[in-house]
Amino acid sequence: AQSVTQLGSHVSVSEGALVLLRCNYSSSVPPYLFWYVQYPNQGLQLLLKYTSAATLVKGINGFEAEFKKSETSFHLTKPSAHMSDAAEYFCAVSDSGNQFYFGTGTSLTVIP
Amino acid sequence: NAGVTQTPKFRILKIGQSMTLQCTQDMNHNYMYWYRQDPGMGLKLIYYSVGAGITDKGEVPNGYNVSRSTTEDFPLRLELAAPSQTSVYFCASSYPGYQETQYFGPGTRLLVL
């Protein structure tokens, strides 16, 4: 089975600062990787996904992530945090068995 | 286009009671999923379906049942509710393929006492 590890269950950044949320995966085959965002009392929404095309993936709201096979990582970044970025972020990996594996999530707080 | 809808939004059950969580999507997606979300645990896949009449177990299927008689609907059944099933349940759907984006419903919060 695949697995996903998100380092840091809580991350706080100042408004305007760099956002870096970490995700490492284990996969025996080339994976498909996703970042989802969850705002309070809502379902998850896709931020971006890697599907073996470009290793640098750009998503919505200024977020991007880089797939690094040698490091088995797919970290999420945003150059400048905005108050509206405060949410829970989930990294996920899928395999050919149609199963999806989510990380435990990182709660992002943006300090004004 | 409502996307993925779930009912009810919130429910309190007594131990041993049963209930069905409803999920409907209007995007003509073949694939549908049920997850549970527990604090600090992320989402765990309960069951999934790749089309009407076809379902399969995910990571944590025990205590749950599903059926898929139509493309649109994918209900989740709890037969004998237990406190361990207190959670937030999310339904999701997607086009075929494990590279596809999943679209999530707003969730059902279930409390078993």
**pLDDT exceeds 80 at position B54:** yes
Residue type, B104: F
pLDDT of residue A42: 86
Tell me, yes or no, if A9 comes closer than 8 A to chain B by beta carbon: yes
Give A-chain residues touching B7 at CB under 8 angstroms. Answer: none
Query: What are A4-13's pLDDT values in tens digits?
Result: 999 999 999 9
**Per CB distance under 8 Å, which residues of B are interface residues toward A?**
4, 31, 33, 35, 40-45, 48, 50, 56, 58-59, 90, 92, 98-99, 101-102, 104-107
Tell me, yes or no, if A103 comes closer than 8 A to chain B by beta carbon: yes
pLDDT of residue B57: 94
Give B-chain residues touching A32 at CB under 8 angstroms. Answer: 98-99
Query: What are A2-39's pLDDT values in tens digits?
Result: 789 999 999 999 999 999 999 999 876 667 899 999 99
* Mean pLDDT score across all residues of chain B: 94
pLDDT of residue A94: 85
Indicate the pLDDT class of residue B86, thresholds 50, 70 and 90.
very high
What residues have CB less than 8 Å from B49, skipping those under 6 apart?
B31, B32, B33, B55, B56, B66, B68, B74
Contact status, residue B75 vs residue B20, Cβ threshold 8 Å: yes
**Structure-block tokens of residue A21:** 């949320």
Contact status, residue A67 vs residue A57, Cβ threshold 8 Å: yes
Indicate the pLDDT class of residue A92, thresholds 50, 70 and 90.
very high
Residue ranges of the alpha helices (H) in A26-68?
Answer: none
Residue type, B30: N
Indicate the pLDDT class of residue A97, thresholds 50, 70 and 90.
low
Task: Give the separation between CA A94 and CA B112, rounded to whole angstroms.
Answer: 31
**Structure-block tokens of residue A85:** 């970025």
Residue type, A45: Q
Over residues A100-111, mean pLDDT: 93
If DSSP codes are grouped into helix, strand and coil, which group holds residue A52?
coil
> Does A49 contact B98 at a Cβ distance shorter than 8 Å?
no
Give B-chain residues touching A9 at CB under 8 angstroms. Answer: 40
